[in-house]
Structure 1
Amino acid sequence: MLVVAGTILAFGVVAAKADAAGTDITDNGGTITAQRGAPSGSESYANLIDNDPRTKYFAGGDRGWVQYRSTEPAAVDRYTITSANDAPDRDPSAWRLEGSTNGTSWTTLDSRTGESFNGRGVTRGFLVANTVAYTYYRLTLTETNGSRDLQWAEWGLWAGDGQPAAPTGLVAAAVAAGTVDLDWRDNSDVDTGYPETGFEVQRSVDGGQFAQVAIVGADATAFTDTVATAGSLSYRVRAVTEAGPASEFSAVAVATPIDPTVELRLTDLPGSVTDRYGQTGDQGAERGVDRSPYTKYFVGGSTTTWLGYTLDRRATATRYTVTAANDAPERDPRNWSLVASADGVSWTTLDSRTDQSFTDRFQTHSYRLSNTAAYRYYRLDVTANNGSRDTQLGDLAIFGMATPEAMPLPAAPDALRVDAVSGDQLKISWADNTRWETAVRLERSTDGQTWNWSRTLPAGTTRYRDVGLAGNTTHHYRVRAENATGSSAYATPASATTGTADLPVTWQEHWHEHTQLVTRVSYNDTLGVYFDPDMEPSQTWLFGYTDAIWRYVRATYDGVGSARLAAVFHKGRYDGGHPATVFDAHHDYRNVIDIGLDNWAESEAQPRDIIAHEIAHIVEGSFGGIQGSPSFPIWMDSKWAEIFQYDVYLGAGLTADAQRWRAKMAGQRDGSPREGTAWFSDWFAPIYDTYGQSQVLVRYLRLLTQHFAQFNGEYARNLNWGEFVFFWSAAAGVDLRPLATNAFGWPDEWERQFQQARVDYPGVRFAACCGPVLVSDPGPQNAKVGERVQVQLRSSGGSAVRFTATGLPPGMTVSEDGLIGGTPTRSGVYGSTVTVTAVQDPTRTASVTIRWTVNDHIGTILAGNGECLDLDNSRTHNGNGVHTVGCNSTGAQKWFVSAGRYTVLDKCLATAPGAVPPGAAVVVWDCDGSANQQWTEPGDGTIRQVSSGMCLTRPTDTSWVSLTPCTGGDTQRWRRG
């Protein structure tokens, strides 16, 4: 039988089944019967086991039973039910599963009430605590989800061993000093197989022997490992359960941790830049080491070059980075060597690379050096590029160990210019004259004296748009460069006066094929509406409708509504619409929607939808005051508008439009990124409904403004698919790759892009910050008085948590990073509680209780004849006897002595409960602290039971050790081995 993995099935697209799901006995050729319905046909009960979730069984009543007779008995321990294609009210909601060996006498295996399915074609699994092999299985359905008719698509009966599916896609990434982030795909749940109770993470320092690092909780897909070692580390992960077998291990992933010692950017230390050709100016050599990937070093007419940095003082390089420039991938360096020299004459090769590539513009690659020597001269020798006759790179940075020195002060910018482009916007530009800046500060004043407004901009910035200003107002600006050492002088201030704030009464179109003179017919503080001569004056509904949407947008989406919206409507021409934003000169730097339709009736859906659609483009293209939409090549024109329109209809109180639109979108399918993609139903709607509605949409766009590549107020490049899902995951607070896999598929290239995004955007997190805090349980611990012990605990929060503990044995403490250590000073049994707390959110905590047994002795107990006290055959049932045999170093002879208690294999040395007559057998029993389990060693070589006062006695033959009155004979003498 086919099991549909994932949350919602896109009919026509069959999802793959995870492994370790067991065997579906409905595939073994048995017979299915039912109380209701037809045995064959389009909606017969035979469809329940046809492995096709697109077919269904329609019962024709709201209850009844179905029965499967297997060709051979089988112990079913899990069963699945798949909802049908439509009518959720027909879904079963209550049922009873029974098993029978003869088809007459039935045993109830599972009962369910109040169940539901969160979509069409959804498969749900249910565990059954059953070990009996039945030939007959019967499912009696007693309630639907409200309908008088019952239907469902598939029924599966699974017999397996409880082994969960192995995790896949393990990736290890060193994203910060001293830490390695692990990320994997969880393939085990009750809907597709057997669920895990946690994941075991293992690490190896040599690629051979692996040791456990942590146990993280069920459904975890990430873990941060704190390490203090250099060199490559290997990792593997497996799913574990409380009682059943663990899964197979994932494939091994390897990472090299970043050296946790202090690392300086050597190219920020005082020094000079040179290159092979003496390039200067806006694309000269200094632009190749100016900390900005958005400027570049360019050499025309050559496939080779070198870019060098000469330090004022020697330094030891341990790492370097190369960043791709903004365009023309064929100009990227492909082969190079990093060389160093003490005198600028004799050069040593520190690293050589061939066939290097950059998958995105502005991408940075980092390379570790095995160098311990200090040099003044460093040079990147580029020996080949990707095929162009020209060569370029965005940035070269060299890192390592050196005596810290202050950066030189940056030179001042100049050529400051301010241009008035509209009634509410000024454009400011200047020339950047330094590579030493780490930021640019722009300040504004209304009188040229009091500078009470400022913006801190990234290094290399040379333009800024000041939007949302008052009309007919003069503003003065000044700008300077800054770094940690100090600030440059200001550039000579410049000023300009904004134009008239009001939208014009008439407006001559001058864009695309539009050449009409349009007239303003409605106007308020947020909106101006323009009609062409053919528009019917009676269509006044457009005023309030457009205003309601735009007011909601202004209140919800950052930085979009600082300017009025100009809505231009045409009758009988242009057949469609287009938007413009305040960044577009061709529409006079105004937010504009310009639409032409034949029918503008208020009752028509088309004009209502196209207005919201064009406003969606304004939002994506100007959110947060940043120009551009890096998501556009992915969601095109426009999957974004589908969810945006639903959001604005709800937010603006247009309930009927919201209901109409959602119903329309529910059936929408597209051909990208694969045929049959349901963008709205399988991607946007689950995100919107689950993770905050408009808030999650805003968070996504806001995260892009905060973290994604920008230069001079514009996005510098577009998102790739991995980054797209990565930023949506951050907006939702959870890893959305499973949802993306169901909606779009998940090619290996996207997974590589997703993992690269984790490296490129370390400040964008969603696993550690938003998931539950978990702490590993190391299990019961044994220690010995006077011997040092260490136990390292792990948490899902990585380094962002703090450990505390109470009740530890005397002499032991816990560090903030979870290392329990020390030398116990007193024997006994202790129950300690370790608590882990998220540093940034103290309300998020987790605790584990650890049982400590501190022993006076751990090892063998020797009889007078040299034999070892031994638990017979290592059996641990209550009443198993002990005797003396030759010493063999097994666990049956490893005794733990603590505070008068002797234990072996977690059982206590004792006599059976009750009175203890002379000659009573000495056995092992569950430890309960009773008097029969208390012993003392008075110092004469004997071991005496406290309650009876009799001595542990070795037999002279092969019989069991017993208790007899103390005589001081050789058979009662014992010593610790």
Structure 2
Amino acid sequence: MWRVATVIGVVATFNLVAPWAHAATADLTDDGGTLTAQSGRPDGSEGYAKLIDNNPRTKYFAGRDRGWVQYESRTAAAVNRYTITSGNDNPGRDPSAWLLEGSPDGTSWTTLDVRRDETFGGRGVTRGFLVTNTVEYRFHRLTISATNGSAELQWAEWGLWTGDGQPAAPSALTAVAGAGGTVDLTWRDNSDVDSGYPETGFEIQRSVDGGEFATVTVVGADVTSYTDPRPGSGALAYRIRAVSDGKPPSEFPGYTNVLPSDPPGERRITDLPGTVTDRFNRTGTDGAESVVDHSQYTKYLVYGTTTTWLGYTTEADATATRYTVTSANDAPDRDPRSWSLLASPDGTSWTTLDTRTDQVFATRFQTLSYPLTNTAAYRHYRLEVTANNGSPDFQLAELAIFGAAAFAPMPPPAAPDRLTAAAVSGDQIRVTWRDNTRWESAVRLERSTDGLRWDWARTLPAGSTRYNDVGLPGSTTYHYRVRAENPTGGSTFTAPATATTGPGDLPETWKEHWAEHTQQVNRVFYNDLLGVYFDADMEPSQTWLFDYTDAVWRYVRTTYDGLNGARLAAVYHKDKYFGGHPATVFDQNHDYRSVIDVGLNNWSESDSQPRDIIAHEIAHVVEFSFGGVAKSPSFPIWKDSRWADIFMYDVFRNTGRIADTERWRASLTAKRDDFPRAGTAWFTDWWEPIYDNHGRTAVLQRYLRLLAEHFSQFNGEYSRDLNWGEFVYFWSGAAGVDLRPLATYAFGWPPEWEEQFQQARELFPQVRFAACCGPLIVNDPGAQNTVPGDSVRVQLRSSLGATGRFTATGLPPGLTISAGGLISGTVTRGGTYTVTVTAIDDQNRTASRTFPWTALDHLGEILHAGGNCLDDDNSRTDNGNRIHAVGCNKTGAQRWSVAGTRYTVLGKCLTTAPGEAKPGTAVVIWDCDGSAGQQWTEPGDGTIRQVSSGLCLTKPANDDWVSVNTCDGSDTQRWRRG
């Protein structure tokens, strides 16, 4: 179907493609939008429609040496890369200089990229160009200003790409044993700007004797070889992926096996052909084989006992030199605490190789390693557990024994079975299977759209039995197959399982079926990213919710590129289900959709609560589904929800909501929490320094991305929670600097956290950051109020920790500050002071804090000679409110602060109205500004005199209202402090 748009130039419209689905990499010109050009026609053999026909053998011939083409997409998108393909002949006609622009409306344009003196290396060559851009535009215009010499312009293809920056995976990995036990690796680099997104390096991982893969190194961009100098001995496997700073890494395309030239050495004895036994003959799920299956996410579990033994018998003798034990996923009281490792040549006579007592696992899935002083070879090994941590039950995730043995290949893994694929929504298929082997090192899942070409794959951890394939287009059929793999080879693939995604749209009506929610809700707003639902009691006039929710979610989807799910379903209720809750694409009870569900009494746009709660619930959707991984390992740390605090601040700030940004920041600045210690200022002491100093929005993205890439996962979800040391470690990775000093300042730093932090270094070596230097900050002690003669002790602290030395300026007389930041002494004179405290470290880095200090000469009543109290009329604080003398009543209107020459009540200064004061001028309160009219002295004769006029504070005998008059020594002008 054709249509015409009213623009300058000629129009071509393409409606012959399916609706565009968001993907890791997508060409915006494939979304069925409108292409226009300054010259030529859309049709014909060389019309400009050929620019987006995905055929590099056709071309657009402009007939002149310059001109523009413009693409109006169906939906706005943030283009971060574009491509131009040269034509089939005459290199002189190629574009050589151009300007790329974006526009929200086709009228106001923003420059995205400028190029000059560009060339193409041949005919039909595609060149790519990166764009630093995160703004979504519907209109994109490419203006060619010069060719390579010809008076006629032509080119073949134009692409506008909206990918997440993920580089293509390398291929053709080879590994060859070299001299001296080294291994030479080579591979093909498939990621570049012309075909996709370039890498910044390659991460090389190694597995020894079928063990878990660990990172060896990260080499630079465009490198295609590496020599592993110290691979160790045994059966080795290597895998490699492309990485890009701040972007998702590529997949591991598979791995390559190699046998070093010197096979003897340390091997994983529990990977040699052999059998597993235990005291209770446990088999199947949670059986004995689970402790040697290369998966810390499975476990050996027996109920009703605190002791047991686990044995491994090899087919040939092996000399054990060390062993490891790994804690399971939960219940620390089930962990082994005391045990012995025994060995036997015949299974009858046993020798004790090692004994341990009172061992503690600091975290779940922690591996403890123990050396052995053993030189004898045995076939039978047994871990005899004599005590656990107090539970009536026992569990252990992994037992691995290492040592010297003749090489024997790991037996090939048995194939998985019972493969199923179920379309659970319009954009998600859940794939499940049964794992049948302990001999696998990984599981390979492949996908096809036709059952013939298996051009998509994921390498999953050993023991995996589930995968959530999310972000798929609606009404599309996919085929899946799976196999087990280890360094010896792979099992056969399962028979394929097939599923077709449902319709991609959200339904027009939706029956709630979660918790107490049973409402029939109706879809009242719908676009490419959002569906809004109202219950029957919502006012139809609350249409502001459409634009607001869309703005927040659109910003989130553009910013947090690891999110999945095509649309957000926002469900709003009136006068019921008060509060809100989120759901993600992994939640069955919300039909596998990203959902926020909110119920309020007042949905007025003028009320900030609806805006806050909507953004708050979206914050949870982000943390519980970012990167396609279910759950939030950070939630037990920041609870509900200090994450939402900084997330909402960022959202308000970047969606142009200035008033909300200022309001929200003020509320966060004043907020204090009781975790992890009383009085914690999460925003001012933790979030704000990180946000302001380390990339603002980008540092929030990097934290979530680092978790998705490196933290413990199994079957598509995080397998455990972060501890505090890991929390600070991953935030250090996101910031690029060691944040322990800042964490110490904000939260404290107990020895347990330091132990956890150091363990995180071992568990997650891919998370890197500089040793120095995090944000510098001195805490805010707040406004200080003291009275001369009182003893003062105010302790300052800084993020410099013990290395910081303090100095101060502007302290009240009588006070000093120690190098450790303690302000102490006795104030000797009243007044108002501005104090600046500075901390400096050995590298001359400084951090400062300025705060007010009021040294009060008096705080309390001021009494007239007649016995009445000086009083702010009706406790009002309006500028110009009158002062009188009435009966004393202990209210705030009679509680005066005297600091030097300034008298204040309820935060306002005693004064006369602006202008020259004359006898009889009324005394009032006004905003304090330091002017002479707001300064008073007490010469010692009972009078209070205005500095600017020299007149005395007076309460006439026949009037309660106070004024200033010529000083006459009468009782009407005598006052004292109460």
The residue identity in structure 2 corresponding to 1:280 is T
Contact preservation (8 Å) 1:554, 1:562: no
Aligned residue for 1:579, secondary structure, equals: strand
Q: Deviations over 1:64-113 (max 9, x none)?
A: xxxxxxxxxxxxxxxxxxxxxxxxxxxxxxxxxxxxxxxxxxxxxxxxxx
The residue identity in structure 2 corresponding to 1:520 is R
Say whether 1:409 aligns with 2:408: no
Change (3 A) 1:525 1:488: same
Give, in angstroms, the shift of residue 682 of structure 1: 0.5
Q: Distance in 1 between matches of 2:487 and 2:440?
A: 9
The residue identity in structure 2 corresponding to 1:752 is E
Q: Distance in 2 between matches of 1:359 and 1:533?
A: 52
Aligned pair partner of 1:312 in 310, 315, 323: 315
Change (3 A) 1:770 1:340: farther
Change (3 A) 1:675 1:304: closer
| Off by >4 Å, runs of 4+ in structure 1 | 768-771
Change (3 A) 1:769 1:439: farther
Aligned to 1:461: 464
1:268-307 paired onto structure 2 within 5 Å: 268-307=271-310
Aligned residue for 1:705, secondary structure, equals: helix
Contact preservation (8 Å) 2:738, 2:771: no
Contact preservation (8 Å) 1:421, 1:589: yes
Q: Distance in 2 between matches of 1:591 and 1:320?
A: 45
Q: Deviations over 1:843-880 (max 9, x none)?
A: xxxxxxxxxxxxxxxxxxxxxxxxxxxxxxxxxxxxxx
Aligned to 2:370: 367
The residue identity in structure 1 corresponding to 2:412 is L
Question: Greater shift after overlay, 667-676 or 585-594?
Answer: 667-676
Say whether 1:546 aligns with 2:549: yes
Change (3 A) 1:403 1:647: farther
Aligned residue for 2:626, secondary structure, equals: helix
Aligned pair partner of 1:670 in 646, 666, 673: 673
Contact preservation (8 Å) 2:637, 2:724: yes
1:306-345 paired onto structure 2 within 5 Å: 306-345=309-348
Q: Distance in 2 between matches of 1:496 and 1:354?
A: 53
Aligned residue for 2:688, secondary structure, equals: helix
Say whether 1:474 aligns with 2:477: yes
Q: Distance in 2 between matches of 1:387 and 1:676?
A: 35
Q: Distance in 1 between matches of 2:687 and 2:393?
A: 43
1:67-106 paired onto structure 2 within 5 Å: none
The residue identity in structure 1 corresponding to 2:565 is S
The residue identity in structure 2 corresponding to 1:603 is S
Aligned to 2:711: 708
1:527-538 paired onto structure 2 within 5 Å: 527-538=530-541
Give, in angstroms, the shift of residue 504 of structure 1: 0.7
Aligned pair partner of 2:582 in 579, 584, 590: 579
Give, in angstroms, the shift of residue 385 of structure 1: 2.0
Aligned residue for 1:491, secondary structure, equals: coil
Give, in angstroms, the shift of residue 400 of structure 1: 2.1
Which TM-score applies when normalising by structure 2?
Answer: 0.51
Give, in angstroms, the shift of residue 301 of structure 1: 2.9
Aligned residue for 2:498, secondary structure, equals: strand
Q: Distance in 1 between matches of 2:773 and 2:495?
A: 48
Q: Distance in 1 between matches of 2:345 and 2:319?
A: 11
Q: Distance in 2 between matches of 1:388 and 1:561?
A: 40
Say whether 1:754 aligns with 2:757: yes
Aligned to 2:361: 358
Contact preservation (8 Å) 1:317, 1:371: yes
Q: Distance in 1 between matches of 2:655 and 2:622?
A: 16
Q: Deviations over 1:908-941 (max 9, x none)?
A: xxxxxxxxxxxxxxxxxxxxxxxxxxxxxxxxxx
Aligned residue for 2:749, secondary structure, equals: coil
Aligned to 1:734: 737
Aligned residue for 2:490, secondary structure, equals: coil
Give, in angstroms, the shift of residue 683 of structure 1: 0.3
Give, in angstroms, the shift of residue 579 of structure 1: 0.5
Q: Deviations over 1:769-791 (max 9, x none)?
A: 999xxxxxxxxxxxxxxxxxxxx
Contact preservation (8 Å) 1:443, 1:453: yes
Contact preservation (8 Å) 2:725, 2:756: yes
Aligned to 2:894: none
Give, in angstroms, the shift of residue 592 of structure 1: 0.4
Contact preservation (8 Å) 2:565, 2:585: no
The residue identity in structure 1 corresponding to 2:280 is Y
Q: Distance in 1 between matches of 2:265 and 2:554?
A: 51
Aligned residue for 1:320, secondary structure, equals: strand
Aligned pair partner of 1:452 in 449, 452, 455: 455
Question: Greater shift after overlay, 551-560 or 641-650?
Answer: 551-560
Give, in angstroms, the shift of residue 689 of structure 1: 0.8
Q: Deviations over 1:125-167 (max 9, x none)?
A: xxxxxxxxxxxxxxxxxxxxxxxxxxxxxxxxxxxxxxxxxxx
Say whether 1:386 aligns with 2:393: no
Say whether 1:764 aligns with 2:760: no
Give, in angstroms, the shift of residue 565 of structure 1: 0.1
The residue identity in structure 2 corresponding to 1:455 is R
Q: Distance in 1 between matches of 2:451 and 2:655?
A: 42
Q: Distance in 1 between matches of 2:662 and 2:596?
A: 24
Q: Distance in 2 between matches of 1:316 and 1:694?
A: 54
Aligned to 2:602: 599
Give, in angstroms, the shift of residue 354 of structure 1: 1.1
Aligned pair partner of 2:432 in 413, 429, 432: 429
Aligned to 2:562: 559
Give, in angstroms, the shift of residue 561 of structure 1: 4.0
Q: Distance in 2 between matches of 1:573 and 1:526?
A: 26
The residue identity in structure 1 corresponding to 2:710 is H
Q: Distance in 1 between matches of 2:495 and 2:725?
A: 45
Give, in angstroms, the shift of residue 758 of structure 1: 2.1
Contact preservation (8 Å) 2:636, 2:721: yes
Name which structure has the greater RCO, CA cutoff 8 Å, separation 6+: 1
The residue identity in structure 1 corresponding to 2:296 is P
Q: Distance in 1 between matches of 2:307 and 2:582?
A: 45
Change (3 A) 1:732 1:337: same
Q: Distance in 2 between matches of 1:747 and 1:388?
A: 27
Contact preservation (8 Å) 1:286, 1:297: yes
Change (3 A) 1:404 1:686: farther
Aligned to 1:492: 495
The residue identity in structure 1 corresponding to 2:482 is V
Give, in angstroms, the shift of residue 287 of structure 1: 0.7
Say whether 1:619 aligns with 2:625: no
Q: Distance in 2 between matches of 1:712 and 1:700?
A: 21
1:839-850 paired onto structure 2 within 5 Å: none
Aligned residue for 2:298, secondary structure, equals: coil
Q: Deviations over 1:881-934 (max 9, x none)?
A: xxxxxxxxxxxxxxxxxxxxxxxxxxxxxxxxxxxxxxxxxxxxxxxxxxxxxx
Say whether 1:725 aligns with 2:751: no
Aligned pair partner of 1:346 in 349, 370, 383: 349
Unaligned runs of 5+ in 2: 1-228, 231-263, 775-978
Q: Distance in 2 between matches of 1:268 and 1:655?
A: 61
Unaligned runs of 5+ in 1: 1-225, 228-260, 772-977
Q: Distance in 2 between matches of 1:304 and 1:669?
A: 47
Contact preservation (8 Å) 2:265, 2:405: no
Give, in angstroms, the shift of residue 555 of structure 1: 1.8
Contact preservation (8 Å) 2:564, 2:625: no
Contact preservation (8 Å) 1:323, 1:365: yes
Give, in angstroms, the shift of residue 660 of structure 1: 2.7
Give, in angstroms, the shift of residue 329 of structure 1: 2.3
Contact preservation (8 Å) 1:526, 1:563: yes
Contact preservation (8 Å) 1:553, 1:561: no
Q: Distance in 1 between matches of 2:746 and 2:716?
A: 33
Contact preservation (8 Å) 2:531, 2:569: yes
Aligned residue for 1:560, secondary structure, equals: coil
Aligned residue for 1:282, secondary structure, equals: coil
Aligned to 1:638: 641
Change (3 A) 1:301 1:573: closer
Aligned pair partner of 1:657 in 637, 657, 660: 660
